[in-house]
């Protein structure tokens, strides 16, 4: 399954890189939520490869197979064919493919590929996390004032900008810096390999986090809701850190939690 996911991510990543150099066809799913020809082409290729490599396994995928309502009770591929669509549409070279195999209440395999930097992040449950051919670990920064933290903004940001800006202000004024790179899968992959020390976002979908959260856990990090309750890619509230920063961050963010306590 890891090899199938990696092959699909690498081939879709090459396709995205090729399409990145050409003019884009952009359609609006909502005012600021876009889909391009590349999202659709990468998805088609990934689904074809996964159907071929693991016939019969269900697929949840952002653009064409996006219906879900509960935590799945049978194995399912969870696919984001292009994470960072807004970046892609603006020719900002920061995006990735994310593929996870989810079964028995947790991701079993997670693969994230950044085709511009040619970086392939992989993890398997209890098997560790890797960047290309090297094992990765989260950072050892233990104070938030020394930490570089990432976040992202959901597409309904205009409806809840007060709490999103309040969280941003809180973390910005307690950390060394905050980044908003624009691809949640890469935010998690960067946390897993110690280039970031923590990440939070509200409103993520399963395909944004299903591969990245396994990378973070397998690299020694921790994920939860803002209150510290257990994380799942099926709940729309994510706090991830190198574990050492988790207590400080939950203390700051718990008042913004909308997850069940
Ligand atoms: C988005 C990106 C972005 C995050 C949004 C996601 P998409 O995914 O991961 O960083 O802030 O919440 O929806 O739409 O580019 O696949
Ligand atoms: Ca996404
Ligand atoms: Ca996407």
DSSP string, 63-128: TTB----S--SS-EEEEEEEE-HHHHHTT-S--EEEEEEEETTEEEEEEEEETTTTEEEEEETTTE
Q: State in words which class domain 2-135 has.
A: alpha beta
**Domain spans of the chain, in order of start:** 2-135, 144-256
The verdict on pTM exceeding 0.95 is yes
Query: Rounded to an integer, what distance in angstroms lies between the CA atom of residue 216 and that of residue 203?
Result: 19
Considering all CA atoms of the chain, what is the largest pairwise distance in Å, rounded to the nearest integer?
50
Q: Of ligand 1's atoms, which has the minimum distance to the CA of residue 39?
A: 16
Alpha carbon separation from 150 to 125, 161, 162, 175, 192 (Å, rounded): 24, 17, 18, 11, 12
| Tokens read off for 75 | 């194995």
Cβ of 204 closer than 6 Å to ligand 1, yes or no, is yes
- pLDDT for 260: 55
Q: Which ligand is nearest to the CA of 32?
A: 1
Cβ of 96 closer than 6 Å to ligand 1, yes or no, is no
163 CB neighbour count, 10 Å cutoff: 12
For ligand 1, atom 15: residue with the closest CA: 84
Dump pLDDT digits (tens) for 18-31: 999 999 999 999 88
Q: State in words which class domain 144-256 has.
A: alpha beta
Count, residues in the chain: 261
| Tokens read off for 252 | 């700051």
66 CB neighbour count, 10 Å cutoff: 12
Residues of the chain with pLDDT under 70: 260-261
Q: Which ligand is nearest to the CA of 12?
A: 3
Cβ of 183 closer than 6 Å to ligand 1, yes or no, is yes
Query: Rounded to an integer, what distance in angstroms lies between the CA atom of residue 139 and that of residue 62?
Result: 31
């Amino acid at each position: 399954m890891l090899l199938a996911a990696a092959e699909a991510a690498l081939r879709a990543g090459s396709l995205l890189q090729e399409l990145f150099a050409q003019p884009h066809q952009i359609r609006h799913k909502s005012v600021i939520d876009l889909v391009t020809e590349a999202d659709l082409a990468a998805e088609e290729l990934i689904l074809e490869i996964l159907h071929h490599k693991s016939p019969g396994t269900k697929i949840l995928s952002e653009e064409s197979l996006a219906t879900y309502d509960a935590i799945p009770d049978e194995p399912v591929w969870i696919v984001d064919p292009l994470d960072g669509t807004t970046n892609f549409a603006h020719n900002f070279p920061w995006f990735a493919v994310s593929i996870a195999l989810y079964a028995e209440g947790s991701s079993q395999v997670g693969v994230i590929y950044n085709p511009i930097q040619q970086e392939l992040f992989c993890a398997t449950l209890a098997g560790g996390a890797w960047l290309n051919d090297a094992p990765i670990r989260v950072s050892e920064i233990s104070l938030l004032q020394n930490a570089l933290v990432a976040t992202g903004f959901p597409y309904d940001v205009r409806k809840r900008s007060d709490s999103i800006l309040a969280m941003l202000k809180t973390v910005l004024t307690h950390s060394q810096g905050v980044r908003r790179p624009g691809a949640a899968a890469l935010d998690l992959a960067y946390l897993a390999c110690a280039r970031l020390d923590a990440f939070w976002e509200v409103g993520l979908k399963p395909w944004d986090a299903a591969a990245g959260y396994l990378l973070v856990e397998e690299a020694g990090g921790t994920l939860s809701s803002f209150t510290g309750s257990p994380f799942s890619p099926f709940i729309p509230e994510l706090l991830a850190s190198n574990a050492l920063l988790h207590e400080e961050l939950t203390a700051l963010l718990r008042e913004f939690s909308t997850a069940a306590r």
